[in-house]
A and B are shown apart, each in its own frame.
Chain A
């Protein structure tokens, strides 16, 4: 049986996520950290949450495309790691993350809230299920 393009696209996204999860969650060359992120999908929406300690609500820069949610947020102060591994000292100043969404969403109806350092973004799906009458 042939797979639909959506299934193939989803499998590519999942493989990409798998690869991304096994790499370091930081980049010392840019001073960026990757936040812990959870993506939950329900019938009509996708909810993305991110743990953003040391971030102020007014500094969060969120942009959305049809299948990506992009976050940039500076930390209120730099986080230093001293004597770790072969780095004598490294310093991070922001969170950065591109979240690949499992399906297309309507950017105009997106809602976000930030409470106790956790960002929650609700994204209504573009294609909602078609109602089937039950006889």
Chain B
């Protein structure tokens, strides 16, 4: 394949061309209640060519790998439409690398039947719990090999397995329907996913207890976020703002996101790190062949760095960070996060709760979205905080606010970091990209919580 790719890159007439070729096998199993809804195996192979001509990009993706040369010509021709805004990518030393991850219990070692048996056990636990009407179980694993080569002589082959599982319990009482769920993910390692019996039990119990829970009266509260939800907050509310492709061409946003600007208290440190071992957002090289790395985004409350592709780094004259990622060969690489987290501070959870007379404790994620300035994310679980103690359970709540004021309102950062691997990120029509995010417990002095 290596020679085949370099052959196609031999003559192109562009400033830069790269090719990604990908093979993928996906196994999916899903249940709705007692019914196995889906067991399928999906295979896919295809590739894409990206060409840069005088600042303009062309991109061609295809299933037909025999027409590689023609696709190169097509991408180069397409690039000419948008050329004119000169861009020279920084020179780099060509790399040749082959990267394989070795999970403890690899998805390819375990048969479809064993995977199904494992899910049967979880489903049994959920479905035999009191007041449970139905369940929803979604299991997916992916074996993926990506080969990257570029006109500057780089060739990288990476095996990137991925696994995700979501268990949802649906409880019903008359007209009242409530659900609760848990998501886990690994880098293709079935080991940790095989021991979720207690979680399955908890999810069922929680869904049932939601039927009797009170709805929160909407308004402003002091809110304590558990590490999972705080991680989602970090990703949604701040992480996306530090993606340079959103910023580089917009003079107002560049001013807003100028390095050195204060975003929070001195206790606030936010990092994106693709080099952490065995996390879903980790990688050796991004989809432009740049090594993954650790980037400090906020240091002591001040904006210190941002996430870049080769293009955005060149256009903003900042160091590149290796964050150009593509969900598949169907898409060009765009600036994405890897593993993003708030570094631990020194406040214990008990101390964080102690002086809250009335507030809300929110745990676990259900979803989240941002419009740069505003964020919304929903908690999987919510409880009132009364006189420094976690009190009664609440119906699902949604938190929202202005990113900038909310970061300033973080008034306590916990002392224990926990990384959440259950999520996927969506941007520019590319979803879900494996990422992870994390945080210790954090407290926001005032935050709008939606209730009904």
On whether the two chains bind one another, the answer is: no
Interface, chain B (partner A; CB < 8 A):
none
